[in-house]
Amino acid sequence: MEIRLKEELKHPLSKWIREDRWPHIWCSGCGIGIAMSSFLYALEELKIEPREVAIVSGIGCTGRVAGYVKVDSYHTTHGRPIPFAIGLKIAKPEMKVIVFSGDGDIVSIGGNHLIHAARRNFDIIVICVNNFNYGMTGGQFGPTTPYKAKTTTTPYGNFEYPFNLPYLAASAGATFVARWTVLHTYYLRQSIKKALKRNGFSFIEVISPCPTGFGRPNKIGEAIDEMKYYKEKSIIKNGIDPKDAELSFHGGNIVVGEFVEIERASYIEILKQSIEEIKGGQK
């Protein structure tokens, strides 16, 4: 039986979404969609117009965000969305340039770009969805994979230690650093809004389930089980030193919150001032 609706159902974020690209490629239970919608609601609530926004992604599951958002969007090479975004932002300083990509893209192959963008306090927002593995290629370990975790390339357990991403970003010079899970949509949205309103380098880690790639081999269960873990083990600790922001999958805590928020002249601010001085000095 065919059911026809009298009125066409519209997604509340349809203004921001390339609906002609639906359905998306993400697995059921994946948290990337929640991270994406939190971001889009943040834009909506701040009354930012789509033409003011550009999204740059790299390669991987989260890298596909760029293709689904109806703004100027660039799906670049693996690891390079941050330097691409730097070029774009310099050309279009009036735009909000957001790098939306995964942990493998941002922290492994693109790790060098991350620390240098943070060091420069460059005016972009990096939203890094961390699902602890390379999902797109079928669940291999990466620099965020917890110690002892099983993946398709750590069949005997991971014997490397992972990065603490907020600590890494903060140490490198990021002036706004937050971590939330996809369970914390309200707080995540508030942090994204805060980042959208400020200059300089903002880094937001979003912990996400990956039931297909990471959940299954590590017996975490379905996405809902991982969300339950977040609910049970997350502790909000705003303002703490990010080096103490614990992140455990072995019964320990997941420390979330806004850890860093400091004022420091941003790259674009200094650049504009510097160009004015140089141009002014040549009478």
Binding positions for another protein, rule: CB under 8 A: 18, 20-21, 50-52, 54, 56, 66-67, 70-77, 79-92, 94-95, 112-113, 116, 271, 274-275, 278-279, 282-283
Judged by beta carbon, residue 68 or residue 132, the one nearer another protein is 68
Q: How far apart are CA 129 and CA 76, in angstroms?
A: 17
Bond from prior residue into 23 cis (ω within 30 degrees of 0):
yes
E-assigned strand segments in the chain? 53-57, 72-75, 96-102, 125-130, 176-181, 202-207, 234-236, 254-261
Judged by beta carbon, residue 64 or residue 150, the one nearer another protein is 64
Three-state DSSP state, 203: strand
Q: How far is the CB of 16 from another protein (least distance, A)?
A: 10
Q: Tell me the chain's radius of gyration from C-alpha atoms.
A: 19
Judged by beta carbon, residue 86 or residue 188, the one nearer another protein is 86
Q: How far is the CB of 38 from another protein (least distance, A)?
A: 21
Q: How far is the CB of 278 from another protein (least distance, A)?
A: 4
Sequence-distant (6+) residues with CB within 8 A of 24 are 33, 64, 68
* Helix count and strand count (H, E) for the chain: 9, 8
Q: How far is the CB of 154 from another protein (least distance, A)?
A: 27
Judged by beta carbon, residue 92 or residue 197, the one nearer another protein is 92
Determine how β-strand 72-75 pairs with β-strand 53-57.
Answer: parallel
Q: How far is the CB of 114 from another protein (least distance, A)?
A: 10
